[in-house]
Amino acid sequence: MIGSTAASKQITLLADLPTVTPVERHYYANWNIRAAEDSVCSNYLSPNRRDFYKVMFVTGGSGVFSMGMHSYYVDESCIVFMHPNEIISWRNLSDGWTKHYCLFKKRYVDLHPLLRSVMDKYRLFSDPNRSVIRLKPGAASTVNNLFRKLQEESVTGGNLAEDAMQAYLQLIMIESMKEANFPEPDAVSDDYRHVHDFFHLLETETASINYNKPLRIRTAKEFAELLQLHPNHLNALLKKHTGQPISTHIKNRLLDESKALLLQTDWTLQDIGYCIGFADQPNFSQFFKKNIGMTPNEFRRNYTSVPG
């Protein structure tokens, strides 16, 4: 845990936290790499930084995938390499999708220099212009088989499972690079640009919360002013594209950061509330309980009491 001195009161990364309570233990499992298949390709938007890289391979159907300010219409097999810091979204346009994905933590990359060297060599995660690759049928079949091997290792486990998984992951990157078919991104609309800019600003404001740098802006009006938009217009755009108003996105982000601070530090409730913009601890506790259904102390206690 992080110490309690002001100099050490920092948190730089939001962990992979659930959005509902009570706490589900598996969300906090100490995993390094995992793989799975999903036949449902639902609409989603992930504006928050993550502590893991993601590779997604999709076949069938059609949809629009956006990463940062790059947007792609997808109607054939493609593979996407996502950096933890990217704002990503998916809008499904038809049924019939099969989606394979592999998630692996930043720390896992540090433990495997060969994996890091392949990532650095091909720049699939670091260069947005190389992060989406369309695959021809032969390459798609090869990548599909590699993902199935990944999933088998993920399910069966064992002492060498992680080593095998990172080897398959390297092969997936190499096979994808053989195609080297990087599609040109489509133009994004002004509406999407404004939505992206809002989430980028929200992320920037919350990315380095610590005791010496508490949250500065918390209201819809303040965000809209910084984006040079009328609050009503920004609110309408967010409701159109995400189904939720500005206030809900801000609230959920503050709750996510609160959860991270409660579980990853030993700070007092006063300190946590101060960092996310509350003048006093009772107001923070009231805000947390109203939205989560339990007090901050109960949330922290419920998680830490779950056996490992």
Contact of 131 with 81, CB cutoff 8 Å: yes
CATH number for the 6-16+189-304 domain, one of 3.10.20.30, 1.10.8.50, 2.60.40.10, 1.10.10.60? Answer: 1.10.10.60
The alpha carbon of 7 is separated from its chain's Cα centroid by a whole number of angstroms, namely 28
Asked if pLDDT for residue 3 goes beyond 60, the answer is no
Q: Which residues contact 73 (CB under 8 A, 6 or more apart)?
A: 62, 63, 64, 186
Of 91-100, 281-290, 295-304, give the lowest mean pLDDT range. Answer: 91-100
When comparing pLDDT for 261 and 166, which is higher? 166
Nearest to 208 by CA among 138, 261, 151: 261
pLDDT at 41: 57
Output DSSP code: residue 246: H
Give 141-145's long-range contacts (Cβ < 8 A, gap of 24+): 142/175, 143/57, 143/77, 143/79, 143/172, 143/175, 143/176, 144/57, 144/59, 144/100
> Has residue 277 got a pLDDT over 60?
yes
User: Residue ranges per domain, the chain?
Assistant: 6-16+189-304, 31-179
Please state whether beta strands 88-92 and 44-46 pair in parallel, antiparallel, or not at all (unpaired).
Answer: antiparallel
DSSP code of residue 23: P
CATH number 2.60.120.280 given to 31-179: yes
**Tens digit of pLDDT for each residue in 20-50?**
333 333 334 568 899 988 766 566 666 666 7
H or E stretch including 38?
A: strand 33-38
